[in-house]
Chains A and B, each alone.
Chain A
Amino acid sequence: GNSVTQMEGPVTLSEEAFLTINCTYTATGYPSLFWYVQYPGEGLQLLLKATKADDKGSNKGFEATYRKETTSFHLEKGSVQVSDSAVYFCALSLSGAGSYQLTFGKGTKLSVIP
């Protein structure tokens, strides 16, 4: 079946530190990959996405590259801020049967301290 594995954390970083949250996937076919962010007490917001191999998604200083050879979609940011404290979910979606279903990882809680 399809699955997403991401580092569960929690991850605690100092402001301006470099962030990496690892995400790997297993899928039959060619999925699209997403990072969603959930701030405390809120719903999920799309952070970035990539729809084919070697695509790089980017938004608000965050980046992730779709690596088919390593089945990975790691999230990176060069300099985190306190306002980046949130839970980050990696997810995949496949066309065809079940195309409306997002498969989520378990989420990684990030805390950034001043």
Chain B
Amino acid sequence: DTEVTQTPKHLVMGMTNKKSLKCEQHMGHRAMYWYKQKAKKPPELMFVYSYEKLSINESVPSRFSPECPNSSLLNLHLHALQPEDSALYLCASSQSRGLSTDTQYFGPGTRLTVL
């Protein structure tokens, strides 16, 4: 099973709202990722967690706050977002061996619209 699940599928929020995106995998992977994808563009890496510790933060604004409560779950907390943050947010996971051969498996994404 190579499934990564994400909820919700769609989210509409105002600029003053607080919301969270959730991601789950049961493949025993110890690396989990958040990506942001704008229309007609490739995904852009936001955060990487390895063994539940934040290992990469690609200079993402603080209005995005990641959390990895356990090895299977990854959250992205959203607060005071801007309309330009509207995008598809993708979660991915992989084994955490630090090898180029590790494959990242992606979830279906959450389509976020900020009004």
* Chain B residues with a Cβ under 8 A of chain A: 2, 4, 6, 31, 33, 40-43, 45, 48, 50, 55-56, 88, 90, 92, 94, 98-109, 111
Q: Please report which residues of chain A, range 75-110, place their CB below 8 angstroms from some CB of chain B when the two chains form the complex.
A: 89, 92-96, 99-102, 104-107, 109
Question: Does any Cβ of B come within 8 Å of A18's Cβ?
Answer: no
Residues of B within 8 A of A30 (CB): 100
- Interface size range on A against B: 20 to 34
Q: Please report which residues of chain A, range 26-58, place their CB below 8 angstroms from some CB of chain B when the two chains form the complex.
A: 30-32, 34, 36, 41-46, 49, 51
Given that A96-B98, A100-B56 are known contacts, is A106 also in contact with B41, CB under 8 Å in the complex? yes
Once the chains bind, are B103 and A43 in contact (CB under 8 Å)?
no
Residues of A within 8 A of B31 (CB): 100
Given that A100-B48, A105-B42 are known contacts, is A49 also in contact with B106, CB under 8 Å in the complex? no
Which residue in chain A gives the minimum CB-CB distance to B94? A100
Q: Which of A32, A44, A49, A95 has the most CB of B within 10 A?
A: A44
A36 to B56, CA, bound (A): 22
Once the chains bind, are B42 and A32 in contact (CB under 8 Å)?
no
Q: How many A-B residue pairs have CB under 8 A?
A: 68
A30 to B99, CA, bound (A): 11
A46 to B98, CA, bound (A): 19
Once the chains bind, are A44 and B43 in contact (CB under 8 Å)?
yes
Residues of A within 8 A of B94 (CB): 100
Once the chains bind, are B108 and A42 in contact (CB under 8 Å)?
yes
Residues of A within 8 A of B105 (CB): 46
A16 to B68, CA, bound (A): 46
Residues of A within 8 A of B43 (CB): 44, 102, 104
Taking A36-B106, A45-B106, A100-B48 as given, write out 7 further A-B residue pairs in contact, using a Cβ cutoff of 8 Å, ordered by the A residue number.
A44-B92, A49-B103, A51-B101, A99-B99, A99-B100, A100-B98, A104-B42
Which residue in chain B gives the minimum CB-CB distance to A45? B106
Given that A42-B108, A44-B90, A107-B42 are known contacts, is A31 also in contact with B100, CB under 8 Å in the complex? yes
